[in-house]
């Protein structure tokens, strides 16, 4: 017996999520796929897979008989649309997993803080950059005090659809806050680069952490390696490009901290390749979002059903 879910948004992220649930989940099934363009590829694929669809948005979803079978709803639209979607879905008692940067609910990165938010009715999946880099900041901060963390996420321009481009500001703000609130850095900063290279390059992430005082390099490396292995449990294409690097950092003034800093700069270099379920391999930025969202949804549903038993 599987639990019904609905997906709002028939673009790249929503469609990849549809394929992942169909192929990978033994506990969930897609009861409905929602869009606003009847001719979209996502809705067409859903219909071919035998999934009920509507092109009338979230309001159309509520009117569908299949909605009675839905326990959880993924929102793969935009930050601007999410507020309306969330209010309507939660008023009907369903769980919302938000793949936009709207951040109405708590930030969740599965390997870092999912267990702390199992009772939430809306969880926010941060951003693709956040899902890739926040675990690395958390890995450093659990063994050393991180005063400042800065991440640079470079993604293929072809993998950035209209929703991503419309939410660049929300991306940087949401990711920066997640670096602090989940990653454990005193201050955080996020930068996104849309790389126009052709052929497209896979997602690359650079993480800089300024660590106060002496650093146990072996402990940091072990913590990072363990976290990478944890993320690989649901994102197979997640990997370090090289060993963690350590450099002396002696700055008379760090604007983000508004004070001098002396310690160590820890540098972590990552790449994220997609699984190729619907999107090309270079779209690791989208793959990590849908993979993380699926992991979260399965855990939230299992917890809710367990509480009812």
Q: What is the mean pLDDT of residues 64-75?
A: 98
**DSSP H/E element including 139:** helix 128-141
Summary mean pLDDT of the chain:
95
Min mean pLDDT across 28-32, 161-165, 246-250 is at 161-165
pLDDT at position 208, please? 98
Q: Where in the chain is the domain with CATH 3.30.360.10?
A: 128-280
pLDDT band at 238 (very low <50, low <70, confident <90, very high): very high
User: Does 13 count as an annotated binding residue?
Assistant: yes
pTM above 0.85, yes or no: yes
At 136-175, the pLDDT tens digits run 999 999 999 999 999 999 999 999 877 778 778 888 999 9
Tell the CATH topology of 3-125+288-308: Rossmann fold (3.40.50)
Structural contact between residues 189 and 150, judged by C-beta atoms closer than 8 angstroms: yes
pLDDT at position 169, please? 85
At 260-303, the pLDDT tens digits run 999 999 999 999 999 999 999 999 999 999 999 999 999 999 99
User: Does 195 count as an annotated binding residue?
Assistant: no
User: Does 191 count as an annotated binding residue?
Assistant: no
pLDDT at position 307, please? 60
pLDDT band at 309 (very low <50, low <70, confident <90, very high): very low
CA atoms within 13 A on the CB side of 95: 25
Q: Where in the chain is the domain with CATH 3.40.50.720?
A: 3-125+288-308
Nearest in space to 63 (alpha carbons), one of 6, 104, 11, 22: 6
User: Does 39 count as an annotated binding residue?
Assistant: no
Nearest in space to 308 (alpha carbons), one of 95, 73, 26: 95
User: Does 159 count as an annotated binding residue?
Assistant: yes
Looking at domain 128-280, which CATH architecture does it have?
2-Layer Sandwich (3.30)
Would you please indicate which residues are annotated as catalytic (active-site) residues? 128
């Amino acid at each position: 017996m599987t639990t019904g879910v609905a997906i709002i948004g028939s673009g790249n992220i929503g469609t990849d999520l549809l394929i992942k649930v169909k192929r990978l989940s033994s506990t969930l099934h897609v009861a409905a796929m929602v869009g606003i363009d009847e001719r979209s590829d996502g809705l067409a694929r859903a219909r071919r897979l035998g999934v009920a669809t509507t092109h009338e948005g979230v309001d159309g979803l509520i009117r569908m008989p299949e909605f009675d079978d839905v326990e959880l709803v993924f929102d793969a639209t935009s930050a601007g649309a999410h507020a309306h979607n969330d209010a309507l879905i939660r008023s009907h008692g369903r769980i919302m997993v938000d793949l936009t940067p709207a951040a109405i609910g708590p930030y969740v990165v599965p390997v870092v803080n999912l267990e702390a938010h199992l009772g939430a009715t809306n969880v926010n999946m941060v951003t693709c950059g956040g899902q890739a880099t926040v675990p690395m900041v958390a890995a450093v901060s659990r063994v050393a005090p991180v005063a400042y963390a800065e991440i640079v996420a470079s993604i293929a321009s072809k993998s950035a659809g209209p929703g991503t481009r419309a939410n660049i500001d929300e991306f940087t703000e949401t990711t920066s806050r997640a670096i602090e609130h989940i990653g454990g850095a005193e201050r955080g900063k996020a930068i996104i680069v849309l790389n126009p290279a052709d052929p497209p390059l896979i997602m690359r992430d650079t993480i800089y952490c300024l660590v106060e005082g002496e650093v146990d390099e072996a402990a940091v490396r072990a913590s990072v390696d363990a976290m990478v292995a944890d993320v690989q449990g649901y994102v197979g294409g997640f990997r370090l490009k090289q060993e963690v690097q350590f450099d002396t950092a002696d700055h008379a003034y760090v604007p983000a901290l508004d004070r001098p800093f002396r310690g160590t700069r820890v540098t972590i270099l990552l790449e994220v390749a997609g699984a190729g379920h619907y999107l090309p391999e270079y779209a690791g930025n989208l793959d990590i979002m849908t993979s993380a969202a699926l992991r979260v949804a399965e855990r939230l549903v299992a917890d809710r059903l367990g509480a009812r038993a």
